[in-house]
Each structure stands twice: as structure tokens, then as C-alpha cells.
Amino acid sequence: MSDAHPVVGRGAQRRDETPDAWLVVIDPQAIFASPDSAWGSPFFAAAMPRIRELATAFDERVIVTRWMPTADRSTSWGAYFDAWPFADQPSTAPLFDLVPDAIGLSTHPTLDLPTFGKWGPELEALVGRAPRVVLAGVATDCCVISTALAAADAGAHITVVADACAGSTAENHAAAIRVMGLYPPQITVSDTATVLGAH
């Protein structure tokens, strides 16, 4: 077990990785995946094949999200976009497109939100109240952790697939995984092989 991917035992996974679980793939977009982007994760390319494996296994129970630059600039988001002007573009900009390998992962439309965390009434309407949700995607230390903590607080059962998530850096990925690992049994940290074996 590596420091970057702490995993609890297989027996502890069984509750959260039942066939009625949903896979939510967080923000597999060019802005977070491209090496040319200021927010591009150098680990996204390694995570993407695992994300595709998971999506195949979850079939129609897959939701793909996108972060969109549509937040109200009169709030703290205004200062955020001032700090990151390259991201202050129309939502139609190619920067916010799904990467080619993420197209077709889900039979559902993408869930587009202007927030780091993707848990909220829109996602709950799709997956149900107190669902079992498996999370993968990018960035571990931003949108994934923001989604996991909010969903757990709302009563969802969350499994984070550590090796199918990509962080901004190896250190930030490991730190986010450690934090999410502090929330059992609401949040379980796992890996692709274990989730596929239990699904």
C-alpha cells in the first residue's frame, strides 16, 4: 500500500460498492487534463484508462460532470477569476470540453456546474437520496474532495477510487486522499481493482 493510495481492506468495501452504486466522473475536461493548461494534472493520462474501466462496469449508472466558468463574479469567484484570468472565458471555449477519451462514458448529459463540489440538488436528483456513489476524476485536491465531503455530509455513501483520481501534484493528491480517509464509514478510499471486483 503506497502513501499516495491508502486502501482499506476488501471486506470493508462491500457495503459501498454494491451494483446499485453510481459512478460520478468529476470534470474530465481539457482544462484539467491538458499539459498546456495551467490547471492540467500530470497524472490525468494515467487515471483515464481506469476511469474508462469503471465506466464500462457501471454501464448506465455513470454521471460525468464539468466545471463551468459561470459563477457570479460579484462573489468570491470574482477574485478567483482575477487570480486565474486564463479560465475566465465563455463556457463554450474548448478549454471546458471533455477530453476525447471521456466522450461517451455516460448515456446521460453532462452535469455542468460552476462550483468545485458537484454534490447538490442537481446530482441528488439523478442518483437519489442517500445513494452509494463512487468518485473518480480530477482534481483530487479540489473538485473530487469538495464533492466527497459535501456528499458525505448530506448522507451519501462515498467510495473514492484513489488510482482513478488525478491530483494537481503527487503531494496534493496524497494529502487529499489522507483527508478523505479520515471520514469512515461515510467515505471509503479504495482502488480500481477492488471496486471492479466488488461491483
Please report, for residues 79, 130, 175, 196, the alpha-carbon distance to residue 23 in angstroms, rounded to integers and kept in the order given: 32, 14, 23, 11
> What are the boundaries of each domain within the chain?
10-198
Predicted TM-score (pTM) of this structure: 0.90
Q: Does domain 10-198 have CATH number 3.40.50.2300?
A: no
Tens-digit pLDDT profile for residues 129-162: 889 999 999 999 999 999 999 999 999 999 999 9
* pLDDT score of 7 more than 80: no
pLDDT band at 8 (very low <50, low <70, confident <90, very high): very low
Sign of CA dihedral 108, 113, 117, 120: negative
Beta bridge partners of 63: 24
User: Using an 8 Å Cβ cutoff, are 81 and 88 in contact?
Assistant: yes
